[in-house]
Amino acid sequence: MDKILRINMGEEGCPAVVINSIGDYSGLGGRAMTSAIVSKEVPPLCHPLGANNKLIIAPGLLSGSLAAMSGRISVGCKSPLTGGIKESNAGGQPSQVLARLGYAAVVLEGKPKDDTLYKIVINKDGVKIIADNSLRMLGNYDLIDKIKKEFGDKICCISIGPAGEMKLSAASIAFTDMELRPTRHAGRGGTGAVMGAKGVKVIVLDDTGMQNRSPKDPEKFREANKNFVQALKNNPVTGKGLPALGTNALINVMNESGGLPTNNFKMGKFEGVSKISGETQVETERARGGLVTHGCHRGCVIRCSGIFNDKDGNYLTKQPEYETVWAHGANCGIDDLDAIAMLDRLDDDFGLDTIEMGAAIAVAMDAGIAEFGDAQAAIYLVKEVGKGTPLGRILGNGAAITGKVFGVERVPVVKGQSMPAYDPRAIQGMGVTYATSPMGADHTAGHARITNLLGLGIKLDYQKPESQIELSRILQIATAALDSTGMCLFINYAILSKPENFQFYVDLINGFTGREMTKEDIIDLGKSVLKNEREFNAKAGFCANNDRLPEFFKNEPLPPNNVTFKINDEELDQIFN
Amino acid sequence: MDKILRINMGEEGCPAVVINSIGDYSGLGGRAMTSAIVSKEVPPLCHPLGANNKLIIAPGLLSGSLAAMSGRISVGCKSPLTGGIKESNAGGQPSQVLARLGYAAVVLEGKPKDDTLYKIVINKDGVKIIADNSLRMLGNYDLIDKIKKEFGDKICCISIGPAGEMKLSAASIAFTDMELRPTRHAGRGGTGAVMGAKGVKVIVLDDTGMQNRSPKDPEKFREANKNFVQALKNNPVTGKGLPALGTNALINVMNESGGLPTNNFKMGKFEGVSKISGETQVETERARGGLVTHGCHRGCVIRCSGIFNDKDGNYLTKQPEYETVWAHGANCGIDDLDAIAMLDRLDDDFGLDTIEMGAAIAVAMDAGIAEFGDAQAAIYLVKEVGKGTPLGRILGNGAAITGKVFGVERVPVVKGQSMPAYDPRAIQGMGVTYATSPMGADHTAGHARITNLLGLGIKLDYQKPESQIELSRILQIATAALDSTGMCLFINYAILSKPENFQFYVDLINGFTGREMTKEDIIDLGKSVLKNEREFNAKAGFCANNDRLPEFFKNEPLPPNNVTFKINDEELDQIFN
């Protein structure tokens, strides 16, 4: 993984491939890599869909090795949704495969001269770029079927659906899973629109003939990996809760705490929650011959995913995640799990972020475009996006644009990006992350639902402002580092719960890289990633006042607990000082 | 003019009227008044359509007096279009009438509890607020007809069309002219959406029984006014060019210089210009029994407006201004003057900013929604806005949103507001104003097409960057002061051309107010207005990088002269230091 593949899609005549040695970016992976390249090479004031933006796809530092959980892949660019820097990461197979092919990053550059659509094929023999307008406006599922017919099934794919081709700001990039289905998405921030603006429909990866990446210290690596896996299995969340119920285990918990945003963030509890809970979801999946425990990539030992079949027992989509069930469910007042699964399928097929789409539809419902609770209307609306009608394009550009176009005041976004499934009035620390993350509102950037950080006994009341700034800061730094390793975020439950578990994680990195990183080095890595990102955003025109929640979170108490967001601006501004 | 009328539209039960003495805002008028109230009373991070925004309508300092040219009225708020402070001013009768009624400002506050629509009637006896849902979605023309039937024709009106009711960011506020037609608009920045969000459809003003406002020093005032009027008559632009050809005299000039933005800013010359020139326009008007010289308010001595009749000789609209002819004409490749006049009429009727609409349609044309040059398509698109279809709502939210929704890179906006009819590559000083004005791209904020400032012999090459910063700075300061007096911007041609003319203007102010302001005091007034505005914007989240033109102005040479915008960022940032 010592090469960077650069493809200039704007070169006169045809796209030009350059393979460089990793050079200055040596030692970086995942988010550290994407954010370093964006901050060094992308002019902060460039148009996100223009020649000067770059799309960077980077496996994690440990991807392609036998380290458990190391299959996450990062996508970076200047975001068409936020106007700031973006890193969005996903599971699926491509991270491992790209890493084994030796690429630390694929960088798409330039602006195509016309609207020809390309597929890029990367294997042990090199890189081919092939014009293929027959792929135009294919959904991800049909696209992958077509690609499979051409290249067989020993491949994996990185692709966009119609949303990316239409350059919609909610467009995702799909990464195929173990079954070669386009179910794993770098959803947030409109990375799919940037890929669409580069004229690339699909990147086909084939690592036939390549080996796993070898650790520098095989014994240390093996031992650390064993301990790390055991720690994951011993932790109640990663060892039991997530495999059993998936991420949607959270919906009952969030509802109980009064922090489940319902009907476009009007309430914190949803009366239909039992119909869409994790428990109901796994029962349904089991009854229809689906799967309730399934990894999103090889090497995952948590396996929080699953397979959701339709009523006839045929595959419909992967098990919808908590944030999806919330976005298309509670947030739109919809309590129909089949409709939610269909929406998940449509989003994956069109290449759309489920969070942004659910938030946009809820805002549209607030504008009177449809009734809260109307599942068929929600399906109709997502299909409009796939068709690219004016209404669909509005929604497909996300909640902020939808609110603006329909004159809605209640729009739960920060930096133009929709808030996910955790009301910041009920979980104040999440509000700090939403407000201050360079990514815009993003739960994964510092998932402040944790009570006993590193066994230090930090016990927080989620609804109170005390210590939330500190919590969010630590988590944002830890996450920025984690997102650079290719590790799944969920290992946090285990590695942040006990100091010895954190050490297994550090040992795993050191065993692989041969470095002698300490906990402090990892913190420094996280800090440097955030520093790059915040500096880019400042140059792109963001200032302290962009680190704010919409005013209604301060002014409107959230029923039933009637809490407001209580952390003041001055405190928010101190988070990274 | 010592009272401020505040109407809280959000009061429980019914809107509440409070009439205060002018207090701290004493001595302010027009833009100085609106920007002072916004910066002091509106929370910079509030939602523009929410309870905490305020809509302020303020006559100029000299409005309601016999001072020539003093009938401009300012509207201020936090802008739904830019997210920053907004002052947009207009001609028409209401400024004089409101001033004679004694109101230095009308402030609409709060957020209505429901969607009831109100009319507000202000006369010598006081203020009445009347619910009237029969006015819903009426165009401005039908609305005024209905209001005339109810209140007679000794009134004047301030109103919104369907666009304002739909809270579209390109919605204007209409002010009736001398013929009681809704042709004079505070167009820029979506002030109509804020009026719509306050639930106010129309404000009916009747100054029956009121007197002109008296000058403190009648003799000095009379003398200064006489000299001032003479100076306007002697100046070739205000005395000859504008009365003869209207503002559209400029289109040939701009085309000749290669600075007429054509087909969404792709070229600086439009081949169909002769069909839409000022000369052709006045010929057409004359031939059809229209008017070629006509004031937009009583007391105007320049009279740059006119009446545009249709082919059958029936009134269609007021003489479209240069910026309108450009926006709906050259910028969309349209060379059909009747179509442009129809678009002007539709914009006035729906309550839309002609500049923003022309820019939005041109961006939509770039996205392939219609062909450049297709006049009927443009008419269809504006009608979609009036109907509030999804496509119409996209366009009605302006060029930035249109570009975002359709994934267009070439979007000529600053701070979300469309650039008017002067390509900043061809007139570099205008680019400085566009970039740095707190209003977003706005030609009136510092109209840098002037060569001999105050007779000081400053001769600039428009296409070269030298001294453009200084020019824009002086003009922005002078304009901020001017916009506070109620004076028409066009007096600048006369008062900035000769020091003695400027003195007549100062004497006129002093004769009226009884103060002893110097030229320096006026500069200080302008500076303080800009300071208020820039401070508000900083608190609303704007920083130096919001003071930038879109990157294509630097990267793409403008044919035929192949110039780019050459003023660098560091220079822009020094403009107000």
B414 CA: distance to closest CA in chain A (Å): 12
pLDDT tens track for A19-75: 999 999 999 999 999 999 999 999 999 999 999 999 999 999 999 999 999 999 999
Residues of B in contact with A44 (CB under 8 A): 545
Q: Please report the pLDDT score of residue A101 as a whole number.
A: 98
**Secondary structure string (H, E, C) spanning A402-437:** HHHHHCCCCCCEECCEECCCCCCCCCHHHHHHHHHC
The B126-131 sheet, strands edge to edge: B126-131, B118-123, B200-205, B156-159, B173-175, B184-186
> From start to end of A12-72, where are the E strands?
16-21, 55-59
**Beta strands at A315-318 and A413-414: parallel, antiparallel or unpaired:** unpaired
In this structure, what token pair is assigned to residue B469?
A: 């910063």
B169: nearest CB among A404, A546, A550: A404
* Average pLDDT over all residues of chain A: 96
Q: Please report the pLDDT score of residue B455 as a whole number.
A: 58
Cα separation values, A129 from A14, A197, A308, Å: 9, 16, 35
Confidence band for A455, pLDDT divided at 50, 70 and 90: low
Q: Please report the pLDDT score of residue A463 as a whole number.
A: 85
What is the greatest pairwise CA distance in chain B? 62
A242 shares contact with chain B (CB less than 8 Å): no
**Secondary structure string (H, E, C) spanning A292-308:** EEECCCCCCCCCEEEEE
The count of CB pairs under 8 A between chains A and B is 100
In the three-class reduction of DSSP (H, G, I as helix; E, B as strand; rest coil), residue A170 is classed as coil
- pLDDT of residue A453 exceeding 80: no
Helix, strand, coil fractions of chain B, as percent rounded to 5 = 45, 15, 40
B534 shares contact with chain A (CB less than 8 Å): no
In the three-class reduction of DSSP (H, G, I as helix; E, B as strand; rest coil), residue A159 is classed as strand
Q: What is the pTM of this model?
A: 0.95
Question: How far is the C-alpha of B75 from the C-alpha of B98, rounded, in Å?
Answer: 13
Hey, are the CB atoms on B407 and A193 less than 8 Å from each other? yes
One-letter amino acid at A258 equals: G
Q: Please report the pLDDT score of residue B465 as a whole number.
A: 87
Burial pattern B348-375, b for ≥16 Cβ within 10 A else e, equals bbbbbbbbbbbbbbbbbbbbebbebebb
Terminal alpha carbon distance of chain B: 35
**Residue B120: φ, ψ to 5°:** -115, 130
Question: How far is the C-alpha of B16 from the C-alpha of B21, rounded, in Å?
Answer: 17
| Numbers of helices and strands, H then E, in chain B | 22, 17
| Angle made by CA atoms B468, B472, B473, in degrees to the nearest 5 | 115
Q: Please report the pLDDT score of residue B466 as a whole number.
A: 85
CB proximity list for A379: less than 8 A, separation 6 or greater: A339, A342, A343, A346
Question: How far is the C-alpha of A262 from the C-alpha of A559, rounded, in Å?
Answer: 10
A333 CA: distance to closest CA in chain B (Å): 22
pLDDT tens track for B328-340: 999 999 999 999 9
pLDDT tens track for A409-430: 999 999 999 999 999 999 999 9
Residue A294 near residue A303 (C-beta atoms within 8 A): yes
**Beta strands at B156-159 and B126-131: parallel, antiparallel or unpaired:** unpaired
- The segments of chain B whose pLDDT lies below 50 read none
One-letter amino acid at B231 equals: A
CA-nearest of B484, B448, B439 to B72 is B484
Residue A10 near residue A41 (C-beta atoms within 8 A): no
B406 shares contact with chain A (CB less than 8 Å): yes
A435 CA: distance to closest CA in chain B (Å): 13
- pLDDT of residue A452 exceeding 60: no
Residue B177 near residue B73 (C-beta atoms within 8 A): no
**Residue B55: φ, ψ to 5°:** -110, 120
**B204: buried, middle or exposed (CB in 10 Å: 19+, 13-18, 0-12)?**
buried
Residues of A in contact with B167 (CB under 8 A): 407
In this structure, what token pair is assigned to residue B569?
A: 């960022």
- pLDDT of residue A458 exceeding 80: no
B545: nearest CB among A197, A407, A541: A541
Q: What domains sit in chain A, N to C, each tagged with a CATH number?
A: 3-205 (3.60.9.10)
Question: How far is the C-alpha of B435 from the C-alpha of B440, rounded, in Å?
Answer: 7
pLDDT tens track for A319-372: 999 999 999 999 999 999 999 999 999 999 999 999 999 999 999 999 999 999
CB proximity list for A215: less than 8 A, separation 6 or greater: A65, A66, A221, A222, A511, A512, A514
| Angle made by CA atoms B545, B547, B553, in degrees to the nearest 5 | 100
In this structure, what token pair is assigned to residue A67?
A: 């380290």
Hey, are the CB atoms on B548 and A45 less than 8 Å from each other? yes
DSSP 8-state code for residue A547: S
One-letter amino acid at B108 equals: L
In this structure, what token pair is assigned to residue B136?
A: 């819903």
Hey, are the CB atoms on B193 and A397 less than 8 Å from each other? no
Q: Please report the pLDDT score of residue A457 as a whole number.
A: 59
pLDDT above 90 as % of chain A: 94
Cα separation values, B279 from A487, B253, B273, B318, Å: 70, 12, 11, 16
CB proximity list for A129: less than 8 A, separation 6 or greater: A7, A14, A15, A17, A118, A119, A120, A121
Nearest CA in chain B to A541: B545
Helix axes B519-539, B30-41, angle to 10 degrees: 30
Selected for mutation to probe chain A from B381, B405, B415, B436 (highest A CB count within 10 Å) is B405
Residue B86 near residue B186 (C-beta atoms within 8 A): no
A392 CA: distance to closest CA in chain B (Å): 9
B36 CA: distance to closest CA in chain A (Å): 21
B49: nearest CB among A44, A46, A407: A407
Q: Residue A390: left if φ>0, alpha if ψ -120 to 50, beta else—which one?
A: alpha
Residue-by-residue DSSP string for A432-458: HHHHH-TTSS-GGGS----SSGGGS--
Selected for mutation to probe chain B from A409, A535, A555 (highest B CB count within 10 Å) is A409
| Angle made by CA atoms B211, B61, B295, in degrees to the nearest 5 | 75
Q: Please report the pLDDT score of residue A167 as a whole number.
A: 98
Q: Which residue has the tokens 């420094």?
A: A524
